[in-house]
Amino acid sequence: MPMEIVLITGMSGSGKSVALNSLEDAGYYCVDNLPPELLLPFVTLEQEHRASRLAIAMDVRSATSLPQVPALLTKLRQQGIIIKPLFLDAATDTLVRRYSETRRKHPLSQTMPAATSPDLTRALVDAIELERELLNDLREQAHVIDTSLIRPSQLQGYIKEVISVPGSQLTLVFESFAFKRGIPVDADYVFDIRMLPNPHYEPELRPLTGKDAAVVDFLKAQPDVDLMCEHISQFLDHWLDAMSRNHRSYVTVAIGCTGGQHRSVYLVEELARRFSARWTTLKRHRELDAG
């Protein structure tokens, strides 16, 4: 059985500790803040110990050596090791609020010229934006999860989904969301379906969701809903093979309506059903999953 490594990177304050704890509960041997220079020796040592599942967290504290990581992951893949890169992200205002609530210092705060300024919020924002720049290459090669509006229990559930899928093929993630709560930062493609007929205005359908039979029947009877689903399907059908050939591991398609309860949920369920026969497919309902 080949070794599997989940590499967790992401923005400071985005939930990497929650992710690592979730993986530890799932039976992974976990290491936090491993310097990239030690990645290959560490994996060799664990191979000698016959470890099969590792979870490794790296962050911006290793900024000077982070550019080495993509080449190191290529070497590990050439050894037959399954790599599942996971990048946790969050909106800047969310990260600022989390740091303000915990009174923690950002790892890069002392390196910023504005760190001595009385405008501490501006200094924190500058540190966050620098961190985004330093981590951009790792983000581009990973499965991104936006933790801005989700609870720790949701994040744990999403991580369990990610580690359950095969690591050697493209995984397609469909995510419903409410525009009124913001666009997910983890989306590769965003489709706005707020122009479609809204079950919210039918009193008997308002308390239901896009998973309920009555709402499904209502939306299936709307020609524009079917047309929108067909157009999105045609777009993905045309481009997914090319993305797979380009070694993309994950593609996240976000479908948004006003409340994230009816139309977007229905289309995510329908699109996942259509594409699951060919691609590894995951479904997420940001507003519904929040309970």
Taking CA atoms, 133 is separated from 11, 111, 119, 161, 201, in Å, by 11, 14, 22, 28, 44
163: pLDDT strictly greater than 80: yes
The pair of structure tokens assigned to 167 is 């690591």
Burial track 42-69 (b if 16+ CB lie within 10 A, e otherwise): bbeebeeeeeebbbbbbbbebeeebeeb
DSSP states of 39-67: HHHHHHHHHHTT--EEEEE--GGGGGGGG
> What average pLDDT score do residues 44-50 get?
93
> What average pLDDT score do residues 167-178 get?
88
Q: What is the mean pLDDT of the chain?
A: 91
Find out if CATH 1.10.1380.10 is the number for domain 4-164.
no
229: pLDDT strictly greater than 80: yes
> What average pLDDT score do residues 68-97 get?
94
195: pLDDT strictly greater than 60: yes
Taking CA atoms, 100 is separated from 90, 104, 255, in Å, by 15, 7, 32
> What average pLDDT score do residues 171-178 get?
96
Residue with tokens 């095969």: 166
**pLDDT value at residue 265:** 98
- The CB-based long-range contact list for 269-278 (8 Å cut-off, 24+ gap) reads 269/210, 269/211, 270/229, 271/174, 271/229, 271/232, 271/233, 271/236, 272/174, 274/229, 274/233, 275/172, 275/174, 275/233, 275/236
Q: Cβ distance 165 to 41 under 8 Å?
A: no
> What average pLDDT score do residues 168-177 get?
89
Q: pLDDT tens digits, residue range 95-154?
A: 999 998 887 888 887 665 544 444 667 888 999 999 999 999 999 889 999 999 999 999
Q: pLDDT tens digits, residue range 237-266?
A: 999 999 888 878 889 999 999 999 999 999
**pLDDT value at residue 233:** 97
Q: Would you call 232 exposed, middle or buried from its count of C-beta atoms within 10 A (0-12, 13-18, 19+)? A: buried
Higher-confidence position of 250 and 167: 250
219: pLDDT strictly greater than 90: yes
Give domain limits for the chain.
4-164, 171-289
> What average pLDDT score do residues 168-196 get?
93
Q: Cβ distance 53 to 42 under 8 Å?
A: no
> According to the per-residue pLDDT averaged within each range, which of 64-78, 86-100, 118-132, 259-273 is highest?
259-273
Burial track 117-139 (b if 16+ CB lie within 10 A, e otherwise): eeebeebbbbbbebbeebbeebb
**pLDDT value at residue 116:** 46
Give 23's strand partners: none
> What average pLDDT score do residues 81-93 get?
94
